[in-house]
Amino acid sequence: MQLTSLEIKGFKSFGDRVEINFNEGITGIVGPNGCGKSNVVDAIRWVLGEQKTSALRSEKMENIIFNGTRNRKATNLAEVSLTFKNTKNLLPTEYHTVTISRRYYRSGDSEYLLNGVTCRLKDITGLFMDTGITSNSYAIIELRMVEEILNDKDNSRRGLFEEAAGISKFKARKKETLKKLKDTDADLERVEDLLAEIE
């Protein structure tokens, strides 16, 4: 699988549409302090579904929308798209090219898209689970994460191995199933109460 391009529009310092193409090999992004290099990484993390504003270096989600400059009006929509070439069919989908997009409006509404079609965040996280390309996986490593991994904060080292070994999706499914079982137990209890009342 290869990350081929990133499109950013109205996200943080990117008021105008910017497209970054990643060719084979290493791509480096260089520029003076404060020009927006880390915002590119934030954009990738965000489109992959990051919900924690602290991980995006923002106080609230609205702050990720371009808030204008002296010469340019603020925008009302932040939009990021990330495109992968699904070589080796690592992503469980029939598409050879996969584009995921996320939109966030100043009104607070948001949208996720998979190849241009509206979807749920769950569809995107499910698609990328165990590929190492989730918002909090080992594909995006910041300086603070290196420290967390070395200190094994919140069992983070184990989490990385689980993602690499491909068992995260089974853990997620187990959690979901246990929740359903708990809900079903509660429903059964309620039915039993009702039956007891009728009898």
Query: Which of these, 23, 67, 14, lies nearest to 41 by C-alpha position?
Result: 14
| 38 interacts with ligand ATP by CB under 6 A | yes
User: DSSP character for 54?
Assistant: G
34 is in an annotated binding site: yes
Which pairing describes strands 2-9 and 18-21: parallel, antiparallel, or unpaired? Answer: antiparallel
Which residue number is nearest to ligand ATP in terms of Cβ?
38
- Which of 1, 5, 18, 36 touches ligand ATP (CB under 6 A)? 36
CB nearer to ligand ATP: pick between 23 and 33: 33
CB of 106 to ligand ATP, least distance (A): 11
Q: By three-state DSSP, how is residue 119 classified?
A: strand
- Enclosing H/E stretch for 189: helix 168-198
97-105/77-85 β-pairing = antiparallel
Backbone torsions φ then ψ of 83, nearest 5 degrees: -115, 135
If binding means CB under 6 A, how many residues of this protein chain bind ligand ATP? 14
Query: What is the enclosing helix (H) or strand (E) of 172?
Result: helix 168-198
Q: Which of 12, 45, 102, 103 binds ligand ATP (CB under 6 A)?
A: 12
Site mask for ligand ATP (CB under 6 A), range 57-86, x = bound = ------x-xxx-------------------
Residues within the annotated binding site?
A: 32-39
Binding site for ligand ATP (CB under 6 A): 12-13, 31, 33-39, 63, 65-67
